Structure formats: C-alpha cells, structure tokens
Amino acid sequence: MARIMAIDLGRKRCGIAVTDPLQIVANGLTTVASAGLVDFVVNYVNQEEVEAIVIGEPKDMHNNPSDSTKYIEPIVNRLRKLLPNMKIERYDERFTSVMAHQTMIDAGLKKKQRQNKELVDTISATIILQSYLSYKGK
C-alpha cells in the first residue's frame, strides 16, 4: 500500500501529515511555507509512494465555502496539473484548529508551546487525515 498525505492549507503556512504505508495511523510530518508547498509535495511524492492527497476544505457554519477558498483553489489546481495521476480529494476542515489547540492542552503543552502556529498547522493536518481515514473506514 501507499501513504495518504493531508494538507491543511493556509495563506502563510501549510501543515502536512501522512499515514504509514499501511494507512493505519496519521502522523504529523512538517509545516511548509505556502509559497513552497507545491514544490515540497511534488518532491515528496517523487520520493515516497503516495496513493492520495487530502486537502482541507474550509467551510463556514452553513456548509458554504469560506473566504479562504479563493487562496486555496489555485494551489489545488496547480497540484492537479503537476500530478495528473494523483487522487486529490477535498475534506471538510471545520474546527480542526480548535481541535488542534485542545489536543495540545490535553497533551499538557505549556501556553508558550501552544502558541507555536506551525505546530497547530501540523496537528490540524493530522486531524484532517485521521478524520478522513475514519470516514473512509480505514
């Protein structure tokens, strides 16, 4: 089997998470500057066997696309163009930042550590991926 990658896209930074090759566990991988995301993903896919890329889809409380969508769509389209054979799916990312902060509190991280936005983005990507795996019944 191959890994599944999840991306929590942001205007400045993107959190990235991947599964193990058996697609059992989601693990935070890294945070990448948004400007370098496409290059990072293409390089990663060329080095590791990746079955699919799951990209967080920001929605408002009424299930409509949020304002962030206009920044995300060009990146998604670019990835689809550069990786035409890759399965790229969108997945609802509502509340992942809130859940990431709660995860950090539950893990006993100090306030200073919880202010690390890169860590929040990586945890958010991990939550998106774990939710996706649960949704797919993996």
Q: Which helix (H) or strand (E) holds 106?
A: helix 96-106
Regarding the domain delimited by 3-136, which CATH topology (the fold level of the hierarchy) does it fall under?
Answer: Nucleotidyltransferase; domain 5 (3.30.420)
DSSP-derived letter for residue 32 is E
Q: Which pTM does this prediction carry?
A: 0.85
C-alpha to C-alpha distance for 116 and 119, rounded to whole angstroms:
5
pLDDT tens-digit profile of 39-50? 999 999 999 999
| Residue 62 pLDDT greater than 90, yes or no | no
Among 25-29, 82-86, 122-126, which stretch is predicted with the lowest mean pLDDT? 122-126
Q: In what order do the strands lie in the sheet with 3-8?
A: 26-33, 13-19, 3-8, 50-57, 87-92
pLDDT for 97 equals 63
| Residue 52 pLDDT greater than 90, yes or no | yes
Please answer whether residues 89 and 57 qualify as being in contact, where contact means their C-beta atoms are separated by less than 8 angstroms. no
Angle at 50 between CA 82 and CA 127, to 5 degrees: 105
The DSSP code sequence of 71-90 is HHHHHHHHHHHH-TTSEEEE
- CB under 8 Å to 20, separation ≥6 — which residues? 3, 27
pLDDT tens-digit profile of 64-88? 766 677 788 899 999 999 999 999 9
pLDDT tens-digit profile of 82-122? 999 999 999 877 666 666 667 767 777 677 776 667 877 88
For the chain, give every domain's residue range. Answer: 3-136
pLDDT for 16 equals 97
Mean pLDDT of the chain: 86
- Tell me the percentage of the chain whose pLDDT exceeds 70: 83
- Where are the extended beta strands (E) located within the chain? 3-8, 13-19, 26-33, 50-57, 87-92
